[in-house]
Amino acid sequence: MTTVSADLIEREGVWDPQVFCGAMLPMLRLSDSWSLADRSAIVFEGQRWGAPSEGDGPVYRMSNFDELELRLTPELCVSPASSDEQCVRAGDIIVSKGTPVRAAIASRSVFRHPADANCYLVRGLGLADGVWFALCVNQPAFGDYLVRKSGAAIVPRVRMDVLVNARVPKAPAGIESVGFRVMECLDRRLENEVELIRFLADVRAVVASSIPDASRTSEQPIGTWWHFFSSSDIGDSLVPGHVAINGYQQHLRRDAGWNPIRQLLSENNSGGNRVTDAMQQIRTLQLSDVGDDLTVHQAEIKRWATSGRRVFADPIQENEVLLSALVSRPRVAFAATKPKPEVFPTDHWHRLRFRETPGAWALVLSDPAIHEQLSRLAIGSVQQFAPPWSIRRLVLPDIPLEARIKWDAFLRHWQQRRLELEGEWIGLLGEAYRLLRETHRQCGSWTQPPSALRGQETW
């Protein structure tokens, strides 16, 4: 039985038994700990927008949070419009109010836009303290402690006073060196991310310029049953949306020179066989594993019994393009080289092999204009899935070979650099987590490895 002193209950000011019976109890008893108040750090609440026109500028939201780093969107990659206190600055720690509680570190290359009211900005911590504080806040046990102590039962939120006074264990030796390298790596990762976002904007401008102005009105969905179509628009399906997109695609082929995707694919596509013999462990590529960077990162090792997906029997191959079969979550991935160790895609992917410049075609497939075609060819009760026949009906713009070669070379070089940075980042997370685990001698096993490390090795 665990005994909790009355002094500790009075100091914490909360009666929730999960606070005192969980993994955080040994940490709460530490005498050698500190808080943001002890470090005289300043905590700002994010920007609360007034009139709708005031919220038109770029802003960091909870959706931009990952463990320790900020994820950018094209809207955020612009020069800041103001320099208010609520704008993110280098060295700030941005903490989400809602669950799951996340803390991200702002590096020197961060765009100085405001954070919204669902975030706190922690300013004034030194490099070592800031990185250590962010590491602790990202731990599920610590985040749960902050929410429970805040006492929000209906909508879990972290109160500012709870965040300011939360006790953090003293950092072990070595956090200064790790913190410096974390900031340097975050800078390079951010610059690398901005490079791709701006390149994708150029690609999408080229694709948009290849769409005739007269055909843009055809992109509107058919919402009435009495809409009339030309007989030439009718194909294998009589679904009004399928007939409409068929006519739209014919217009693109006839007036803009777009080509059917089947003319660009090689005949030897990856086999459609699924795994029949259960494996002990498997690395699978699911839709959630691929973001807007089109890159196949090192997948997490999972037990076959818990993988929860049907999986292709053949692993991802070199120069393979994968297109999401779930049109409500459009994703495109390109493997410039064969992933090592092997990664097996789930059957939520369509596997494509282009005869030439596959990287360039992967960039084209990631364009919203192609996603629009796929979404209107979808089937099912909620129109979410694109079957193989719908992929063969896609039409793509006629991009000159010279441009495609440049696009393909850029994506290959960018992915190689990104994977190098990813390997460096995972190594730094491993070092940081080993330092975090040193607190187990005093606090017990209260930590979990970051998601990027889970399944990579035994911790």
CATH at residue 344: 3.90.220.20
Beta bridge partners of 56: none
Of 398, 423, 452, which residue constitutes the final position of a domain? 398
Number of domains composing the chain = 2
Of 116, 140, 170, which residue constitutes the final position of a domain? 170
pLDDT digits (tens, 9 = 90+) for 404-430: 999 999 999 999 999 999 999 999 999
- Do 151 and 279 belong to one domain? no
Q: Is residue 354 part of a domain?
A: yes
Q: Is residue 425 part of a domain?
A: no
Report pLDDT for 177. 94
pLDDT digits (tens, 9 = 90+) for 8-37: 777 777 777 777 777 787 777 777 889 999
CA distance 117 to 76: 17
CA distance 126 to 419: 30
* Distance in angstroms between the alpha carbons of the first and the last residue of the chain: 28
- Do 20 and 137 belong to one domain? yes
Mean pLDDT taken over the chain: 84
- Do 153 and 283 belong to one domain? no
Q: Is residue 242 part of a domain?
A: no
SS3 at position 114: strand
Contact 134, 125 (CB under 8 A): no
- Do 18 and 150 belong to one domain? yes
Of 349, 367, 398, which residue constitutes the final position of a domain? 398
Order of strands, edge to edge, in the sheet holding 301-303?
Answer: 301-303, 281-285, 344-345
Q: Is residue 303 part of a domain?
A: yes
Q: Is residue 191 part of a domain?
A: no
Lowest mean pLDDT among 173-177, 228-232, 388-392, 427-431: 228-232
Q: Is residue 355 part of a domain?
A: yes
* The model's pTM: 0.86
- Do 282 and 154 belong to one domain? no
- Among candidate residues 206, 192, 208, 205, the one with its CA nearest the CA of residue 77: 192
91: left (phi over 0), alpha (psi -120 to 50) or beta: left
- Do 17 and 158 belong to one domain? yes
- Do 15 and 156 belong to one domain? yes
Query: Which residue segment(s) compose the domain that 16 sits in?
Result: 6-170
pLDDT digits (tens, 9 = 90+) for 63-111: 898 889 999 999 999 888 777 788 999 999 999 999 899 999 999 999 9
Residues 6+ apart with CB under 8 A from 333: 285, 290, 294, 295, 296, 321, 322, 349, 362
Report pLDDT for 93. 96
Q: Judge whether residue 383 has pLDDT over 90.
A: no
Q: Is residue 99 part of a domain?
A: yes
